[in-house]
Amino acid sequence: MSRELAFAGSWRRRPAPQQLEDRRPKTKDNFLLLTQTHCDNNSPMPFDDAPQDKSRQVLAHFNRVAARYDLMNSLLSFGLHHWWKRVAVGLLDLRPGGQVLDVCGGTGDLAVIAAQRIGPRGRAVVYDFSRAMLEAGRPKTAVLAGWGKILHVQGDALRLAFPDNCFDAVMVGFGIRNLSSMDAGFREMHRVLKPGGRMMCLEFSCPATPWFRRLYDLYSFAVMPLAGKIIAGSREAYSYLPESIRKFPLPEELSALLRSLGFTQVGYHRLTNGIAVAHVGVKERE
């Protein structure tokens, strides 16, 4: 989609290991290498539609911006993403001792919040195919990892390297939009959830109020790409971001998709006038 079109109003309507830890080859500290993903591709954004190309380009993008990812997030959201993430993890109703999976976990923000709630007997797994993103989050997660609560696993979200029914909660923050198949991503999350377990998906969306939407359009199509160029060295990557957000299903559409994939008690919570939306769903008890 061209930038003009997007701006003009395109707001649209395994076999798996047996245990979460310990049986896999460890690299160092808490890293477990389950799925190796290699990518030397540095092709420009926006991403291609062909699934394999998209995956490769998404990986190349996050490998490239990993070192500045947290800084960019905080600057571009004026720090709001910390609050969004706290509210979103709160919707999972985590209990001490819980097992939580952070799909497309990147630098581990959601896992860190979750780890504080599940306590020393619980376990949070940050799962991402970009080794660079996982590494960039190490200083944050190291504080808690000392208690053995956060594990890092490198692998593809479209083929989660875990058995069925093994997590109390599964979450994905600003990651589902990047997958070449959103349905497949949610199906995998549903598969690894225990019956009765909760899923949370935090994603950018469309502001609810028209004037705020216009302001946000201006900000995201003018300011974001410029900031991306200056801070992360990639204007294209941060032009792609607002365009991909606008292609993402609106909250009601995403809720319908989640229901069709087997989630029950589906609901959502708008944050900051709907710039971000936290979706929740439950895997039905058998």
Ligand X SMILES: C[S@@+](CC[C@H](N)C(=O)[O-])C[C@H]1O[C@@H](n2cnc3c(N)ncnc32)[C@H](O)[C@@H]1O
Binding site for ligand X (CB under 6 A): 55, 58, 62, 104-106, 109-110, 128-130, 133, 156-158, 173-175, 178-179
Nearest to ligand X of 110, 151 (CB atom): 110
What is the separation, in whole angstroms, between the first and last Cα of the chain?
Answer: 43
Shortest gap between Cβ of 200 and ligand X (angstroms)? 11
Shortest gap between Cβ of 286 and ligand X (angstroms)? 28
Nearest to ligand X of 104, 193 (CB atom): 104
Which residue number is nearest to ligand X in terms of Cβ?
106
Nearest to ligand X of 76, 266 (CB atom): 76
- Residue 167 CA to residue 195 CA, distance in Å, equals 9
How many CB atoms sit inside 10 A of residue 264's CB? 11
Shortest gap between Cβ of 85 and ligand X (angstroms)? 6
- Residue 66 CA to residue 60 CA, distance in Å, equals 10
Nearest to ligand X of 31, 174 (CB atom): 174
Nearest to ligand X of 106, 274 (CB atom): 106
Closest C-alpha to 229, from 8, 45, 78, 77: 45
Nearest to ligand X of 144, 157 (CB atom): 157
Shortest gap between Cβ of 79 and ligand X (angstroms)? 13
**Two structure tokens written together for 131:** 């080794």
Shortest gap between Cβ of 26 and ligand X (angstroms)? 19
* CA 214 vs CA 11, 101, 219, 252: distances in Å: 11, 36, 9, 21
The answer to whether the Cα torsion of 134, 248, 8, 75 is positive or negative is negative
Nearest to ligand X of 55, 234 (CB atom): 55
Nearest to ligand X of 129, 216 (CB atom): 129
Shortest gap between Cβ of 86 and ligand X (angstroms)? 12
Shortest gap between Cβ of 196 and ligand X (angstroms)? 24
Shortest gap between Cβ of 73 and ligand X (angstroms)? 6
